[in-house]
Amino acid sequence: MITRRTLALAGAALPFATAVQAQDIGSAQRPLRIGVTAGPHAQVMEKVREIAARDGLQIRIVEFQDYIQPNVALAAGDLDANSYQHQPFLDQQVRDRRLAIVAAGKTMIFPMGLYSRRHRSAEAIPAGGRVAIPNDPTNGGRALVLLARNNVFKLRDGADFRATIADITENPRRIRVVELEAAQLPRVLDEVEAATINTNFAIPAGLNPVRDAIALESSESPYANLIAVRQVDAQAAWVRRLVSAYQTQEVKDFVQTTFQGAVVPAF
């Protein structure tokens, strides 16, 4: 399994890599470097790598443990593509960090869930209880909307994924919202009343969204994940081949068999 450390060590070969012609990207000598977060994104990309190889497209998977570095690495040219984020998160990253990155194709929907070791419903969370949510802008707002739809508190009219704690208008139970890095949320379940956890972090932690979540986004969630590439590569032939390898019935079947409804193909 390739990690960021492996990628860093490969930096010594960059002079060779820059000498490789564009038409050689995806070859055995210069495989596509695709960043993913550990867990379901990595598992699915392994299947995509197998399918792409039949078409002569070679992929090297690089795993990350957070949501920020895959875009930073892509923008810097250390990756050719990444597969882990939804469009609102990408849009926010592009605005905040001025990244020249665009979506190339849709992948999967990971419905966000509310989990608890102590309660069987959102309504059972007691007065003054602490509920943890992701601390990044788009997933934090998404979590607040999920909580509001399950009557934990109320948000201002029209609130969406851009919502913040300041948009809570009614909180009769005085629920305390704790903002943490998304990857840390499964680890604090024993310390809070409940936590909203992205499915790509829930599954590696042994949580099944269909079975274990006390509240879950609809499968009609607008947060479809995507493959992202640098803007200058958007029309490259290897991008079309990568998206085609991903958006196959074989990948759909793999997702449905492996995740049993917890992850939904978005293509």
Q: Which of 196, 216, 236 is the last residue of a domain?
A: 216
pLDDT in tens, 117-145: 999 999 999 999 999 999 998 899 999 99
Which position has the token pair 């608890």?
116
The CATH number of whichever domain residue 80 belongs to comes to 3.40.190.10
Tell which residue, 183, 187, 188, 178, has the closest CA to residue 199: 183
Tell which residue, 227, 215, 228, 207, has the closest CA to residue 267: 227
Average pLDDT over residues 237-265: 95
Mark whether 230 and 101 lie in a shared domain: yes
What single string gives the DSSP state of each residue in 52-71?
A: HHHTT--EEEEEESSSSHHH
3-state secondary structure labels for all residues of 197-215: ECHHHHHHHCCCHHHHCCE
Which position has the token pair 């892509």?
74
Structural domain of residue 206, as residue ranges?
113-216
Mark whether 99 and 197 lie in a shared domain: no
Mark whether 35 and 23 lie in a shared domain: yes
Mark whether 139 and 210 lie in a shared domain: yes
The pair of structure tokens assigned to 156 is 């201002």
pLDDT tier at 22, thresholds 50, 70, 90:
low
The pair of structure tokens assigned to 23 is 């038409």
> CA 67, CA 104: separation in Å to the nearest integer?
18
Q: Distances in Å between the alpha carbon of 117 and those of 131, 190, 192, 194?
A: 12, 6, 9, 7
pLDDT tier at 23, thresholds 50, 70, 90:
low
Number of H helices, E strands in the chain: 10, 13
Q: Is the pLDDT of residue 8 over 70?
A: no
Mark whether 187 and 240 lie in a shared domain: no
Q: What is the pLDDT of residue 216?
A: 93
Mark whether 175 and 84 lie in a shared domain: no
Average pLDDT over residues 154-170: 95
Tell me, rounded to whole angstroms, the distance of Cα 219 from its chain centroid.
15
Are the CB atoms for 58 and 200 separated by under 8 Å? Answer: no
Mark whether 226 and 176 lie in a shared domain: no
> CA 134, CA 197: separation in Å to the nearest integer?
7
The tally of domains found in the chain comes to 2
Contacts of 235 by beta carbon, 8 Å cutoff, 6+ apart: none
Mark whether 155 and 76 lie in a shared domain: no
Tell which residue, 236, 235, 228, has the closest CA to residue 21: 236
Mark whether 71 and 14 lie in a shared domain: yes
Amino acid at 174: R
Average pLDDT over residues 40-65: 97
Mark whether 212 and 226 lie in a shared domain: no
Reduced to 3 states (helix: H, G, I; strand: E, B; else coil), residue 40 is: helix
pLDDT in tens, 59-115: 999 999 999 999 999 999 999 999 999 999 999 999 999 999 999 999 999 999 999
Mark whether 231 and 148 lie in a shared domain: no
Mark whether 25 and 79 lie in a shared domain: yes
